[in-house]
Structure formats: structure tokens, C-alpha cells
Amino acid sequence: MEYGVLDKLVGYAIRRAQIRIYQDFLDALGHLAITPPRFSAMTIIQCNSAMKLTELASAMGIARSGAVEVVNSLEKLGYVTRTDSATDRRAFALALTENGKQAMHEITAAIEDHDARISARLTKDEQFELRRLLDLLG
């Protein structure tokens, strides 16, 4: 099978890697109904107290309507809650529920296993170098 110009493109190498990684992610976390954007959202909510939904969207690089969907799904799972903002009656203060905080222990551990698994063929130095090169893109 020939892949032509695809083999020479940095973008395609990233795409291929991402497809494999996404699959391993879902295999490792699908049973908890956690997907990459959901994990990103929970982590960002956990690290930044009383975030507004618009701030979450911006941090994730997605549209506000997309953040609504992510938060809806996490609320449905019982991991995230919308509470009233103390300073802006239009806004919500996003927070993890107790259930969500509990789950984050298991989820984060599974994510770290997953990340170690996908980068197992790289030395620590190579992993660092890979992150550095990726961050240089864009």
C-alpha cells in the first residue's frame, strides 16, 4: 500500500499518532464515559476554582456552545455542578462534585497509565523532546 505524500507530512504523522492514542484512551477510560475533552474540562475545572463557562470554553479552545455540551454531559454523570456566581448573576461558578473529586483520583491514575503506555517506546528524554517539538508547532 502506497501513501504518497502523506508519509512526508508532519501533520499526517500527528494525525496517525492521534488516532492510535485516542483509541487507547477510549479503551482505558470508555467504561467511565470519559473522553479527552471531558477529561480536559474536569482537569481545568479542578485547577481553576469558580470558572465561568465562557472561560472554560476559551481554555479548551472551543465555542461556548460546545462547553455547554461538555458541562451538560459531565453534570449528567454527576461529576460537575453549576453553582451561582457570587459576582455575576448571568454566570455560573463551575465546580467538581464530591463524586467528581473522588472519580478524578481513578481517572487521573488511568490517564497517567495510558500516557505512559503510549510513550513507552520513548526514553524520558525523547518524551520531553517530543513535547518540546509539539509545543513549537502552531
Partner DNA sequence: TATTGTTATACTCTATAACTATA
Partner DNA sequence: TATAGTTATAGAGTATAACAATA
Q: What is the DSSP letter of 120?
A: T
Alpha carbons 59 and 71: distance in angstroms, whole number? 14
**Contact characters 86-125, DNA, x per CB under 7 A:** --xxxxx---------------------------------
Among 47, 86, 90, 105, binds a second copy (CB under 8 A): 47
Closest CA to 80 of 54, 109, 49: 49
Assigned C-alpha cell, 69: 455540551
Phi-psi region of 78 (alpha: psi -120 to 50; beta: other; left: phi over 0): left
Determine how many CB atoms are found less than 10 A away from the CB of residue 126.
11
Which DSSP helix (H) or strand (E) runs through 83? strand 80-84
Binding partner selected for residue 35 from a second copy, DNA, none, CB under the kind-specific 5 to 8 Å limit? DNA
Q: Kindly state the smallest distance separating residue 31's Cβ from a second copy, in Å.
A: 18
State yes or no: residue 55 binds a second copy (CB under 8 A).
yes
State yes or no: residue 106 binds a second copy (CB under 8 A).
no
User: Applying CB under 8 A, which residues contact a second copy?
Assistant: 1-6, 9-21, 24-25, 36, 40, 43-44, 46-48, 55, 59, 61, 108, 111-112, 114-115, 118-119, 121-122, 126-127, 129-131, 133-138
